[in-house]
Amino acid sequence: MTQTWDEWKKTLAQAVGQGRAMGLSRDELVHRAEQIGDVLANSVDPTSPEQRVLKELWTSADEDEQKALASTIIKMVQR
């Protein structure tokens, strides 16, 4: 299934909302996002140019940069 960038952001926003509803803190959400980022970067072929950029950024980043990227993505989808 191919998702557009906006659909992908909406799906991610829903997942973040569910995590918040379960009582996860921002740090816990970021940690989960880092774990998911690793899985996606290693196992999923990006379907849009935006997702390809994210994958390239993720695989180029060190651990601290990945944490910052995960945090920024969460912030982006919560707007």
CATH of domain 5-77: 1.10.760
pTM: 0.86
Note the pLDDT tens digit of each residue in 51-70: 899 999 999 999 999 999 99
pLDDT reported for residue 1 = 57
Per-position b or e across 20-51, b if 16+ CB within 10 A of its CB: eeeeeeeeebbebbbeebeeebeeeeeeeeeb
H or E segment to which residue 61 belongs:
none
Q: Domain segments of the chain: what residues?
A: 5-77
The ranges of the chain with pLDDT < 50 are: none
Look-up of token digits 């995590």: 19
